Chain A
């Protein structure tokens, strides 16, 4: 796995201010404050050539050892030209679970962010099509959260009942 170059880290430091950076098994992770996410996207895409968004995902740190925040949003970015990778992490806490949508920078973020909304209930400001994607529209919960019950009758009592005449 290609690590991020020192120039990229310096560019990130300029746009964030103080850089909280760690490395694990050749993977560079940078913690980005929610407010500077848009700046970081612009810096990475336009100045450092990170032209591809590999993945957007989320981790729910409820019950995780030494975790300070509830949710950790993960952006995996790569540069096809320089073969560099960088991982951005944005920590979020309830009740404010809104971040800037990356769709303005990389169109591929569209469905990835819809999945994060569906599974974790994180809202993306400025997303062009903010709907659930895998679960049905009537679904009310966010199933990949750690407090989602694994036992019980499930969600079926929430679903509308259609009779043959209505359908």
Chain B
């Protein structure tokens, strides 16, 4: 079990050599509690973690390099595979960035639908994250309650776009298909049934001795550290940073809705759990407001913008439609981008998910940088776990919501 981490430099080798009773434990890359493929080499003093050295890159598949050869609509399939717990949010983040680079203003109906799916993705992500924290600290029933509800969200997504897991729902300047009455019906049913599940979940663990003991006071992140270490999203808000891009830089239709941003000052795993639970309630509020007020009209920008494929009716009935379709579908013909660079971020479930895009005139990005929240949050893991026991590793890891596919890209 004790493996020497030869290629991993310890921060204080000289210090460690004196204390030869320290031993090294290899956690991962394939461990049930890492949930995905990541490795941590820990120096242990008995059960106490003296130092932790994350070793990542096991899932590195060159997503940013792929972004330099796939066009703006094709790359959305790759963003699905980054944070595969909430692919819809990644889709929206990607196309928000592309539309900013191109200077496209999407239609109100598209904005509302994107807001709804973003919030459903947030609920799905938080359910998994909190469920996994529960699972790792012994609350198996809690996890099943969460997963059962995620299944409903997958069902909604399947009805909406035909795919449960890798949705690829957005397109530059619009969506792949419009929302149908059946989807709206399913979301309404979800809105009705979900609050009860949330209450049940909270009743299961909020005052559960085992869960509270294992999460309260564990992995404390202060406000200053959270700022300095670039924490965003629920992790930053659990540490007292009142920043939410939905409020601070309103994108999509968020300015239209009434919702609050739950925060905590404590900054431990339990606070992160509570913030996520509260955020799900707020998401539900947003969905309720958005669903009853979806504006009528087209989901795609007008064909004159020459970014979205015209409808089949237009393609077959009008010469302009045929030409537009031809121009967009042919290689080397697609839409034109400025020779410029832009950064655009959305409040993804995990934190600020941004894309830094460099356009070079063609419909393929010259550089497609992704700012992955998991990567930035995992960097503070050694700091959070130092001094805690080995059993706290899973609680901290779970509450940071590390998705290795997004971590390594």
Contacts and interface: CB of A to CB of B under 8 A. Distances in A.
A136 B409 CA distance: 14
Given A25-B100, A55-B356, A106-B230, A1 B248 contact: no
Contacts of B241: 80
A115 B408 CA distance: 10
Contacts, number: 107
A135 B60 contact: yes
A158 to B, nearest CB: 15
A83 B248 contact: yes
Contacts of B248: 2, 83
Interface in A45-76: 51-55, 57, 59-60, 64-66, 74, 76
A96 interface: no
Given A111-B375, A133-B56, A60 B367 contact: yes
A166 to B, nearest CB: 12
Nearest to A89: B341
A65 B360 contact: yes
A102 to B, nearest CB: 11
A61 B77 CA distance: 26
B354 A55 contact: yes
What is the predominant secondary structure among interface residues of chain A facing chain B? Answer: loop
A42 interface: no
B62 interface: yes
B229 A57 contact: no
A107 B229 contact: yes
Given A24-B341, A66-B339, A129-B9, A150 B69 contact: yes
A72 to B, nearest CB: 8
Interface of A: 1-2, 24-25, 27, 29, 51-55, 57, 59-60, 64-66, 74, 76, 80, 83, 87, 106-112, 115, 119, 129, 131, 133-137, 143-144, 148, 150
Give the top 9 A-B pairs by smallest Cβ distance, nearest first: A108-B230, A111-B379, A134-B57, A134-B60, A57-B369, A55-B371, A108-B229, A51-B227, A107-B228
